[in-house]
Each structure stands twice: as C-alpha cells, then as structure tokens.
Structure 1
Amino acid sequence: MKENLKICHDRLLPLDLVRPQQTIRLGTGPVQAVFVFRKMWINGSTLRVRFMGGTAAQQAIAKEQALWWLPHANLKFEFNNAPDAEIRIAFNSSDGAWSYMGTDCLSIPRDQPTMNLGFLDGGTAAHEFGHTIGLAHEHQNPSGGIEWNEEVVLRDLSGPPNNWTPDQIRHNVLEKYAVNQIKGTEFDPDSIMLYFFPDTWVKSGHGTKENNALSALDKVFIASEQAYPHAAVQAIELGVNAAPVSTSIGKPGEEDLFKFTVKKSGRYIIQTDGQTDVVMKLFGPNSQTGLIAEDDDGGFGLNSKIAVELIPGQYFAQVRHYNKAQGTGSYSIRVNRT
C-alpha cells in the first residue's frame, strides 16, 4: 500500500448528520443512509476567500489551484481576506484535508474555517475547492462500479494518518450516492475528485491512480448547464403583493432565479404554488451568496414557503425541483408583505 495514504473527508452540517441518508452500496449489502445533496451556488456568483493562517507559499498554492476551475465554471473567487468571506481556509496540519460542500459554507460561524488544507500534496487544493463549489467524491459516483475489499479498507483507514472510525470510513469511501441525489456524469477515472486507492482495496485488483489536475470531463461538466454555464444569468422580476408569476422546471437539473426589491422593513412571505415538488432558497440583501433561508415542503402540499423579516434591499429566490436528476413541472411563485 502507498505509504501515508491521505484522503479527504467530507464535512457535513449537524442538521445533515441526523437526517435519514439515502445512499446505495454495490453488492448484496443493505441500502445504507447518507443525505447528500449537491449544494450549488447561484450561477455567476462571486465567492470571497479569507486565509486563516498558512505561509505565503501555502496560500499561493491554494490560490493557484482554486483558479484552475474558473476558465470553465461561471464563478469568481476574490482573495480579499474579507471578514465575512464565504470561503475561509485554515492550514492545520493535524486536521487533514476537508471542505464543507457548496452553500453549506454559509452556515459556518465566521470565525471558523470552511476548508482545511492540512496537506497540499498534488492537486489537493483544487480537489477541496471542487467540494466548495459543490462537487462530490468521484469514487462515490453510483456509476463508478468500484467493488471494495471492505475488510482491507476498514483496516487500513482505521490507522494513521487518517485514524477514522468505521462510520467515517463508510461515509467517506465505501458508500455510494443515490442516483436521484446528484447531478453528474459517468464515472471518470481521471477526475480531480478521485483519490488514489491501492490495488488491495479493490476486488478487481486494479485500484485508481492519483489525479493531480482537472480532467477533460471535470472541465466539461463544471461548464455544463447542470453546473455553472457561462450563459448570462437572467433573474425574473417579482413584484411585492403582485400577481403570482407562472413558470416551470422545463428540464431536469434546471434552477430558476427570481429577484424582488424590499422598500420597507417588515415580514415577507415568498411561496410557490402548484403540484410540482420544489425547493427554494432565499439570498440577500443585495447578495447572491448571503443565504437567508431554505425550504422544501413548508407550503401547501409539496410547495415551498419562506416567511421572514426583511430589511430594504434586493433579494434573490432560487427554485429547483426536489428530484434534480429527473424532476420537471409547472409552478407559480409570489411575494407578499404581511
């Protein structure tokens, strides 16, 4: 086995840790439970980055590899060390490499990191920034076809340098995402989101290689309509206390963006209507990354409803189907001040 094998581990919000999970595992074992949603930023977002320590050389590597994504993804990174930056990076060598996924970063207190680069081997920083923009581990792709020698994996990862518990090993390596929980491609053996795994860990006797650069498929997917295409982002205007706007999720994976202006502080209700199972996020004020609230079935039936106190400013509501892989359907959306 490769010495000192280092593997990134996922960071989940406490709320996700207690939710029923929905993953599949290859083989004849029982279906396991993992709650993993792709938590995409609004397309075209600017994400600010603050370094919480690290040497000039470490920071330079992190910045260089983060920028690998930007020719392909319609996102921007500003390395301005803003106190309220969406992405905050620590370099604690005793805490491994990890990142919260996508918009989960917004739920972390501002004095705490959303990413740790405890080692910077190869393309580690690019891998962690992949998580930050919403990408999952490629070896947990349900199209992967990897059949693990579980006993060997459990034995090796329970020792140094990872020292993981069996539950951590199952979550970070052995379990597969359910097909209806992710947007993605067929398994990509060249992906930056895939780690090196030794031959002894895999039943076929053929492990995976170490990938230290974005693959061709990484670049194509992150630029696709399912992720962050460079097409202009058009937000539909909503009037406060105006007639509902009727629209639809026309194809799987589509995410609709709406904006409205609050002129007077007060309690506002943003809600959808119809038979389509949608999820809504609210961002603002005057920010497409400042997550205020998220709702799934808070309205009537399968509709979303957010009731919140708002101050003057511009707000953005992002709506997607609950089933990202297959869901489509019509709905309407409205904003009322109560």
Structure 2
Amino acid sequence: MSSTPEKARFCTDRILFRDQQRLQRTVDVDGRLQAITLLHKLWITGSTLHVRFLGGTPAQRQVAREQAGWWTEHANIHFVFDDAPDAQIRIAFDPTDGAWSYVGTDNVTIPPDEPTMNLGFLDGGTAAHEFGHALGLAHEHQNPDGGIRWNEPVVIKDLMGPPNNWSPETIRHNVLKKYTADQVKGTKFDPKSIMLYFFPARWTLDGVGTEANEVLSEVDKAYIGSTDAYPRTIKPPELQATELLVDAANRTPASIGAAGEEDLYKFTVATAGTYVANTRGPTDLVMDLFGPEDPTRLVASDDDSGVGLNARIATALDPGTYYLRVRHFDEKTGTGTYTMKVRSA
C-alpha cells in the first residue's frame, strides 16, 4: 500500500482452496454504501481474539497493536496481544514474504506453529488492512459492484516485477478477479476503504486509478460495527447464548425469524466422548461448533449432513463449555423454523 506506482506493494488475502471452488449466498444492503465481507468467515460478535507475535521489533509490534485498534474502536470484537500459545492470530514480520492474512475464522484452521498473518512491510495502514482481513473483510477492489476495467497486460507486467514478484495466477487472484455477488456481504463500492489497493491510472482502461487509503474510511467504520459485521448492541457470546442440556428429553424449538439472523447456543460436556449436535425441520441451516471455553475456537462446521437440508456435527469432545452458531444458508432471504438438540453418542 504505497503512494508510488513504480513501487506499489500489495497484500494477499489467503483464501482456502475449498472456498475458491464454492459459491455462497449474499445479503443485499438496500443500496447503502458498504465495505464487503466474505460470507461465513465472521467471528461470533463480542469475541475476544488472542494475538501472538512471531518476531518483530518493538516498533513493528506497536504499529500492529495500534492499527488493530482502529477496527475495535468501532466494533464489538476485541484483540488481546498476550502471545498466547493457542492464539487465533499469529503475526510474523518476514520482509521477504510481503503482507498477507488469512480471512476471518479461516485463521483457526491453520496449524498452531504457523503464522496466520505476515507484516513484511508496514507502509501507511498496511497493518490495519491485514487486520481487516483477519476480521473477515475482503479486498474492496474485488467488490462485484466496483466496475473497475483493468488493463490486464499492464497490471500483470508491473506486478510480476519487484517489489511484489507475483506470478500471473497470484495477480489474477489478488487483483483482477472479482468476487461474485454470491460470495460477499455488502455490494456497494467504497473508493475510500482501507481495504482498497492503491493502483495507478495506467492499470485501468479508462485511465482512472485510486488513492492510497491509509486510514479507515467512514464506511469502514460504520460497516464493521453494523449488523452485517460486529454490532455493539449484541452481548458477549457467553451472555447471548441459549443453554442446551446434553441428552435433554425434548428438542429445543427455534427459528430464524429474520434474514441474516444467527442463533447462538452453549452446552456443557461433563465427560470426554463423542457428541452429536443436530437440527431438524424444513429449514436449510449451517452450523458451527466452537470451544471448549472459547467461542472463537472453531471445532467443526456443517451444512447438510443431517436429514434433508439440516446440519449435523458428530465429534469427540473434551470436558468444557461449547458454543453452537446456527444460521440460514440463504442469508439474503432465508427464514424458517427448526429444532435443536445435543446428545452423547
């Protein structure tokens, strides 16, 4: 994220291969100007994410802390820089590896001895940009509503050279390709977003480039605290979750009453063993399991392993408190009833 075209440096958002192959649903935003998030990558609202530094000077670490705070000032999400061994966010400062981050909850699928973010340079708002990815935000220039018409040969030629030295495949993934409307929340292009790359006018067919956005835009600030991301009006996970009793005699009735709504549950495992959580009913649901004790530690996810379009997770669990998040597959318009149960196998 530099102000000079000849030395423009860019980050990569590391998307898991399975998500490059899978279409997801979108939420329309009624014509409002928006940033964009990748669907099903957001953390539970109110979560605390632990951060561990893998190297870096005191000055580099301080920049990372400060710019992470740009987001949490406006959102119901928290970073703790405690170098915890099981930290969800692990930051390296390798100058030969550029700047990149995994997106949202994908971070917890990465082996614990590997970084989930690299800050190989810290120009302007680079650290804030990468923390935006860690929170689930996507590149703004790949917004399907952006309308950017790339001069592809020029873009590829420039980015294949230093300081990026990218392959054509990497350039297409990180710059030229747009997300489909089925992959993101938020549809309106924000030219001031910190998630937008700087690029020179010669990279576009209409000769219009972008500025180097070094701070959060007003849209960034509003969006990260909106109901599409991390609204402050929602309580911490341990307070908002509905308690489920393991092996309860009756199933718990529930519903997705409004498009985009998410239901959160918690249950306690007293004895190590295999446990099954499932939904039943006519509604197409997605379910995520987090824990133990940590509502950001993703254990498993499922879409249609249950009866019909219902979700079912069966996995071995140690004693502790676990959280289940249930949402409709169609976050744009989907609503419906279902029942919920957790049992020992």
Residue by residue over 1:276-331, the C-alpha shift from the partner in whole angstroms, topping out at 9 and shown as x without a partner, is 22111101111101211111111112111100112221110011222333333222
Residue by residue over 1:17-68, the C-alpha shift from the partner in whole angstroms, topping out at 9 and shown as x without a partner, is 6x35689xxxxxxxxxxxx644011111111111101111111111110011
Q: Is the aligned partner of 1:241 residue 2:247?
A: yes
Q: Does the 8 Å CA contact 1:192/1:213 hold for their aligned counterparts?
A: yes
Q: Does the 8 Å CA contact 2:39/2:185 hold for their aligned counterparts?
A: no
For residue 157 of structure 1, give the secondary structure of its aligned residue in structure 2. Answer: helix
Q: Does the 8 Å CA contact 1:196/1:207 hold for their aligned counterparts?
A: yes
Q: Distance in 2 between matches of 1:38 and 1:218?
A: 19
Residue 15 of structure 2 aligns with which residue? 12
| Distance of aligned partners of 1:125 and 1:49 in 2 relative to their CA distance in 1, 3 Å threshold | same
Q: Distance in 2 between matches of 1:321 and 1:230?
A: 22
Q: Give the drift of 1:138.
A: 0.5
Q: Which one-letter code corresponds to 1:257 in the other structure?
A: L
Q: In structure 2, which of residues 195, 198, 221 is the aligned counterpart of residue 219 of structure 1?
A: 221
Residue 288 of structure 2 aligns with which residue? 281
Q: Does the 8 Å CA contact 1:179/1:325 hold for their aligned counterparts?
A: no
Please say which of residues 44-53 and 182-191 is displaced more in the overlay: 182-191
Q: Which is bigger in relative contact order (C-alpha 8 A, separation at least 6)?
A: 2
Q: In structure 1, which of residues 230, 254, 259 is the aligned counterpart of residue 261 of structure 2?
A: 254
What is the aligned length?
Answer: 325
Residue 309 of structure 1 aligns with which residue? 316
Residue by residue over 1:134-186, the C-alpha shift from the partner in whole angstroms, topping out at 9 and shown as x without a partner, is 10001111111111112221222122222222221111111111212211251
Q: In structure 2, which of residues 273, 279, 302 is the aligned counterpart of residue 272 of structure 1?
A: 279
Residue 3 of structure 1 aligns with which residue? 6
TM-score, with length taken from structure 2: 0.90
Identical residues among aligned pairs (%): 58
Residue by residue over 1:240-290, the C-alpha shift from the partner in whole angstroms, topping out at 9 and shown as x without a partner, is 122222222223322211111112222110011122221111011111012
Q: Does the 8 Å CA contact 1:10/1:99 hold for their aligned counterparts?
A: yes
Q: Give the drift of 1:15.
A: 4.2
Following superposition of structure 1 onto structure 2, how do residues 171-182 of structure 1 map, counting pairs within 5 Å?
171-182=173-184
Following superposition of structure 1 onto structure 2, how do residues 1-338 of structure 1 map, counting pairs within 5 Å?
2-16=5-19, 19-20=21-22, 37-233=39-235, 234-242=240-248, 243-338=250-345
Residue by residue over 1:62-99, the C-alpha shift from the partner in whole angstroms, topping out at 9 and shown as x without a partner, is 11100111121101111111111111100000100000
For residue 147 of structure 1, give the secondary structure of its aligned residue in structure 2. Answer: coil
For residue 271 of structure 1, give the secondary structure of its aligned residue in structure 2. Answer: strand
Q: Give the drift of 1:11.
A: 1.1
Q: Does the 8 Å CA contact 2:23/2:182 hold for their aligned counterparts?
A: no
Q: Give the drift of 1:122.
A: 0.5
Please say which of residues 91-100 and 172-181 is displaced more in the overlay: 172-181
Q: Distance in 2 between matches of 1:203 and 1:65?
A: 34
Residue 26 of structure 1 aligns with which residue? none
| Distance of aligned partners of 1:138 and 1:112 in 2 relative to their CA distance in 1, 3 Å threshold | same
Q: Distance in 1 between matches of 2:300 and 2:189?
A: 33
| Distance of aligned partners of 1:316 and 1:239 in 2 relative to their CA distance in 1, 3 Å threshold | same
| Distance of aligned partners of 1:79 and 1:260 in 2 relative to their CA distance in 1, 3 Å threshold | same
For residue 116 of structure 1, give the secondary structure of its aligned residue in structure 2. Answer: strand
Q: Does the 8 Å CA contact 2:11/2:98 hold for their aligned counterparts?
A: yes
Q: Distance in 2 between matches of 1:21 and 1:278?
A: 16
For residue 95 of structure 1, give the secondary structure of its aligned residue in structure 2. Answer: coil
Q: Does the 8 Å CA contact 2:270/2:320 hold for their aligned counterparts?
A: yes
Q: Does the 8 Å CA contact 1:183/1:253 hold for their aligned counterparts?
A: no
Q: Which one-letter code corresponds to 1:67 in the other structure?
A: G
Q: Does the 8 Å CA contact 1:181/1:324 hold for their aligned counterparts?
A: no
Q: Does the 8 Å CA contact 1:190/1:211 hold for their aligned counterparts?
A: yes
Q: Distance in 2 between matches of 1:290 and 1:134?
A: 15
The runs of 5 or more residues in structure 1 that have no matched partner are: 24-35
The runs of 5 or more residues in structure 2 that have no matched partner are: 26-37
Q: Which one-letter code corresponds to 1:238 in the other structure?
A: L
Q: Does the 8 Å CA contact 2:181/2:187 hold for their aligned counterparts?
A: no
